[in-house]
Amino acid sequence: MEKKFKRIGVLTSGGDAPGMNSVIKSVTCAALDMGVEVIGILGGYSGLINDRTKKLSESDVSDIISKGGTMLYSDRCDEFKTEEGMQKAIATCKKHNIDGIIAIGGDGTFRGATDLSIRGVPCIGVSGTIDNDITATDITVGFDTAMNTVLKLGDALRDTSESHARCCVIEVMGRNAGYIAIETGMALNAIGVVIQEMPFDKEAMFAKMIRMKEQGQRSFIVIVAEGMGSEFGEALTKEIEEKTGIEARFNRPAHIVRGGIPTLADRCFAARCGYKAVQLLLEGQSDVVICSRHDKIIPVDIKWALIVDRMYKNKLKDGDLDAFTPEEIEKMKALCKERHEYFVEMYEIVNAIGC
């Protein structure tokens, strides 16, 4: 019987994330091992539209896993959202005999993958975003490294804050999600963590800071999630000075958190996801995203994943749930509840023990 897949494509799209290279490496080596050629698409979906490709061999990917960023480069591509852009992308697939694509990125990347799947190009998504904001998966590739980077920066900021008896307010990336903020807040012993997901009791934090200062504490860390808005962190810094009398400084590491050497956890997770994506694509699966649920690597229907995301973010539109069975909708609700409960638990602990 003739093999259906002779050649597959791999691309990274959206904001880059440490560990994306590990996925690329895993996809390339797994596919070659299974007798399938691999075409790297350069610059995400815009590379597919503009026919920027590179055939990948094992040696092309042999030394990339210790590097942050993505060797295939990335882009956020508006043209791909148009039918014309999509048709150009499909033409590139036909030109290079690309039988299927593994698309690494966040929700925008998965929307693109589902659009291509519908038009006859089988696609599988793999998460690659520091934000961890894909509701269908417990973790995303890049999240662990980003948190560890914040940890290093936070520890350094603690040192200087201790010397000068200051509070350091650190704004961390995460788009609208508070995952990086809450976990690093806990690990850095932040006296306050401000995230969109939970109500923030500012006065209680000020009172605790004053109490701790009276006990002789010199340094304080407050973590603010990027999703609180660009003005929030600086305004809070000023207010801390006014209300507590503690000198305060604002720090925004921004994109620094997106780079750097991928951690072991990210490399291994990325490798598992890449391998599974190739296996499933060659078995004939399409329009699914590889997720981690309770440490099991499983495929999840992309449309289900995108809608559960909207449900969790309270962004459901009329008709969004029409295509799903009552059981599927119940599963979505249960997952949203689980995500919410995680924040409730983490927030309670951080507020109780942070000082």
Residue 146: CB minimum distance to ligand F6P, A: 8
Q: Quick one: how far is CA 221 from the chain centroid?
A: 24
Which of residues 34 and 259 has its CB atom nearest to ligand F6P in the complex? 259
Tokens of 111: 């929307």
203 vs 231 by CB, closer to ligand F6P: 231
Q: Among the options 75, 107, 131, 138, which is catalytic?
A: 131
Nearest to residue 297, comparing CAs of 131, 141, 102? 141
Q: Least Å distance between CB 73 and ligand F6P?
A: 13
Interacting residues with ligand F6P (CB under 6 A): 15, 106, 129-131, 173-175, 226, 258
Residue 131: CB minimum distance to ligand F6P, A: 5
Ramachandran assignment for 317, one of left (phi > 0), alpha (psi -120 to 50 degrees), beta (any other):
beta
Residue 13 burial (C-beta neighbours within 10 Å; 0-12, 13-18, 19+): buried
∠ CA 62-63-69 to the nearest 5 degrees? 120
How far apart are CB 208 and ligand F6P at their closest, in Å?
Answer: 28
- Whichever of 226 and 287 has its CB closer to ligand F6P, that residue is 226
Residue nearest to ligand F6P (CB): 15
Contacts of 292 (CB under 8 A, 6+ apart): 137, 138, 139, 269, 273, 298
Which positions ≥6 away from 82 have C-beta within 8 Å?
A: none
Beta strands (DSSP E) in 187-341 are: 192-194, 220-225, 247-251, 288-293, 296-301
Q: Which residues pair with 290 in a beta bridge?
A: 126, 299
CB nearer to ligand F6P: give 144 or 226.
226
Q: What is the token pair recorded at 24? A: 């690329």
Q: How far is the CB of 99 from ligand F6P (least distance, A)?
A: 29
In the sheet with 192-194, reading across from the earlier edge strand, the strands are: 192-194, 220-225, 166-172, 247-251
Phi, psi (degrees; rounded to nearest 5) at 85:
-60, -40
Q: Nearest approach, Cβ of 220 to ligand F6P (angstroms)?
A: 24
Q: Are strands 220-225 and 192-194 parallel, antiparallel or unpaired?
A: parallel
Say how far apart CA 107 and CA 14 lie, in whole Å.
9
Nearer to ligand F6P, 67 or 252 (CB): 252
**Token pair listed for 57:** 């061999």
Q: How far is the CB of 8 from ligand F6P (least distance, A)?
A: 25
Identify whether 131 is a catalytic site residue: yes
Question: Nearer Cβ to ligand F6P, position 130 or 288?
Answer: 130
By annotation, the residues acting in catalysis are 131
